[in-house]
Structure 1
Amino acid sequence: MSEQTEHVPHGGAKRYDVVVVGGGAAGLSGALTLGRARRSVLVIDAGRPRNAPAEHMHTYLTREGTPPSELLGIGRAEVAAYGGEIMTGEAVAVERPGDGGFRVVLADGSAVLARRLLVTTGLVDELPPVPGVRERWGREVLHCPYCHGWEVRDQAVGVLATGPMAVHQALLWRQWTPKVTLFQHTAPEFGDDEYERLAAREIRLVTGEVTGLDIGKGRLAGVRLKGDRFVSCRALVVAPYLAARSGLLTSLGLESEEQEMFGHAVGSRVPSDASGATSVPGVWVAGNVTDLSAQVIAAAAGGVRAGAAVNADLIAEETSRAVAARGEPFSAQLEREVCERVLDARRHGL
């Protein structure tokens, strides 16, 4: 445990070396790193993980196919084994008390104090407003082929076009199945080269607006289009807007920035450097709140990097304080005073 900070009351609030806001893979990995570095750390988790609708997570080496809730349970236990604390609650504001640290206020009115802050609040998937999409999200309504492509390999997959990246999506999913249908839906007209690429990869194009999903026997059977047309598919790919959960940081003057791909806005993120450090001293971010494309394993790696960077920053601060404290009894002014007293004593024969 850090010798600088103890778990002691301060104005009714506990003080920690680091408060981590967000208890997903990034937050727990950061907390684990900090706990192993003998830091006092608190994880505040609102209990709304982005991947909660998914039954399993994928491409996480040694954890392939693990339910997301199981991973979080294991992670919490590992953090606790190194002295880390987990609190269920929602952080709603961050204040600067004036001592260089942070005061994190929770929805119930309570607060905790921290020397450093690691925010891993993730993002919100803003889904297309098509009836049935939200209800089947994470099941048969999908986004990332690296997360779910294997599970729908060789099946009929539809791609809902809502922007200029739709052709790119359809071509990407074609790697997992030859049965791809691109629903033009609300996307702008495609160019001649895009039509040529779709035809070359034998991707079916269906015009008209999708009005809803057709569910049969507890799973997706297909989509309905205007005019009550029906097209069967076993999975539907959508492109949500990936909005960073960054509201907590606005009180510190830290705003999110829009991210583009191929000239199209795909989401927002909190800007940071490679370690997760933001433009606000003492505040780090990790996971999807700063990296929109991070899968679970990448988010966990980001948490480790940020945790190590936070610890290094605390070490630098503690070392500076130790140097200053060590030098105080032997300051130049004090040395002059001692010398003057000694010389004066000798002059007077003492």
Structure 2
Amino acid sequence: METTLWDSVIVGGGAAGLSAGVALARARFATLLVDSGEPRNGPAAHMHGYLTRDGMAPKEFLATGQEEFTRYGGILEHAPVAGAHRAADGTFELRLGDGRVLRARSVLVATGLTDELPEIPGLAQRWARDVHHCPHCHGYEVRDQAIVVIGNAHLAALLRRQSPSVTLCGAELSDAERQRLTAYGVRVIDARVTRATGDVELDNGETIPCDAIFVAPTPVPRDAILTALGATRDPGTGLVAVDARGATSVPGLWAAGNVVSPRAQVVAAAGAGCTAGIGLCAWLLERELAGAGN
């Protein structure tokens, strides 16, 4: 593996990485996908919003994607990437956790992100079970139940469409926002949540019974490989910048999915991965044609 020069190494085996891998493998580029086995939606029992895949278990989705990728000749490696640099000749070297080094003409990073939850006891333990962040992914499943939303007025308003019992706690609101939410049927409580191990406990001593909790975590992109290889960030968003196809500022370095688009759902991440994979096929082909003419 250390001596092979891959056409492309994909880092990250979620929806974006696998979709990119299928595009590259079907075009018969030598493609290796490296995955650490820590998918963002791994704790969830089901995923939603993906046409024809609604309700599918994330583990089943990934297993199916891996089978498709390897069916077309893609190679799958389960390992973390510990380091990366660009060689003088423009190729890339990725060092795996066990010390092995991969060499590639191009790299596509689809490492996703980490959801950082507020430090409230109980949230992390219940994450993806009855604590959620996306009303489009999980709102319908808790319809007509008692819902508590922590700190986010937009979430509360969206979830009010699913249930007559929505309570918003700990949000900083203007008088106009408070009036609109109250008129829309959302109960607004200024107190902050201190514990969510069972029902929600507030710092004013009140306890609110609930069936589901929604919170907006802080998305932290896993972009260390991109920055190590010199990719520039968008000054407005702070995210690694990519063009419409997924190319970064570094020739041969591409990215797709939540690592550069934190709000992308699974279906959107898969689409971005496919777009990046096809774009990278064209990039690799152009260099082969240029080389053939010399």
Which range, TM-score by smaller chain?
A: over 0.9
2:218 maps to: 241
- Equivalence map 1:18-57=2 (5 Å): 18-57=8-47
The alignment's TM-score, normalised by the length of structure 2, stands at 0.96
Kept after mapping to 2: 8 A contact 1:272/1:285: yes
The DSSP-based 3-state class of the residue aligned with 1:13 is coil
Residue 255 of structure 1: how far off its partner (Å): 4.9
Structure 2 match to 1:61: 51
**1:177 matches 2:185:** no
What CA deviation, in whole Å up to 9, does each residue of 1:91-111 have, x standing for no partner?
Answer: 122112222210111111111
**Partner residue of 2:105?**
115
Q: Following TM superposition, by how much is the alpha carbon of 1:129 offset from its aligned partner in structure 2, in angstroms?
A: 0.5
What is the 5 A alignment of 1:99-110? 99-110=89-100
* From 145, 153, 164, the counterpart of 2:135: 145
Query: 1:252 maps to what in 2?
Result: 229
Structure 1 residue ranges without an equivalent (≥5): 1-8, 216-221, 261-267, 325-350
Instruction: Check conservation: 2:192, 2:203, Cα contact below 8 A.
Output: yes
Give the drift of 1:243: 1.0
Structure having greater relative contact order (Cα 8 Å, sep ≥ 6): 2
Shift of 1:137: 0.8
Contact 1:243–1:269 under 8 Å retained in 2: no
Is the counterpart of residue 131 in structure 1 residue 110 in structure 2?
Answer: no
Deviation at 1:227, TM superposition (A): 4.9
> Do the aligned residues in 1 keep the contact of 2:123 with 2:197 (CA within 8 Å)?
no
Q: Is the CA contact (8 Å cut-off) linking 1:18 and 1:39 kept in structure 2?
A: yes
Structure 1 distance, partners of 2:80, 2:8, is 16
CA offsets 1:298-343 (integer angstroms, 9 cap, x no match): 111111000000000011111111112xxxxxxxxxxxxxxxxxxx
Residue of 206, 213, 224 corresponding to 2:196? 213
Structure 2: gaps of 5 or more residues: none
For residue 176 of structure 1, report the CA deviation from its aligned partner. 1.4
Alignment match, 1:3 = none
2: CA distance, partners of 1:282 / 1:212 = 47
Checking the alignment, whether the CA contact within 8 Å between 1:244 and 1:270 is kept in structure 2 is no
**Cα distance in 1, alignment partners of residues 63 and 240 from structure 2:** 27
Choose the corresponding residue for 2:248, options 272, 278, 281: 278
Deviations 1:27-85 (A, max 9, x none): 01100010000110000000000001100011111111110000111111111111100
1:229, distance to aligned residue in structure 2 (A): 2.2
Report the counterpart of residue 275 of structure 2 in structure 1: 305
1:287 match: 257
Q: Which has the larger radius of gyration?
A: 1
Contact 2:232/2:248 (CA < 8 Å) preserved in 1? no
Alpha-carbon distance between aligned partners in 2 of 1:42 and 1:203, rounded to the nearest angstrom: 49
What secondary structure does 1:52 align onto? Answer: coil
- Give CA deviations for 1:170-197 in whole Å, capped at 9, x if unaligned: 112112112110012xx43x21111110
Of 80, 89, 94, which aligns to 2:70? 80
Residue 219 (structure 1) aligns with: none
Secondary structure of the corresponding residue to residue 70 of structure 1:
helix
Task: Report the AA paired with residue 200 of structure 1.
Answer: A
* 1:193 alignment counterpart: 176
Amino acid at match of 1:272: V
Equivalent residue letter for 2:278: A
CA distance in 2, matches of 1:73, 1:245: 22
Q: TM-score, normalised by structure 1?
A: 0.81
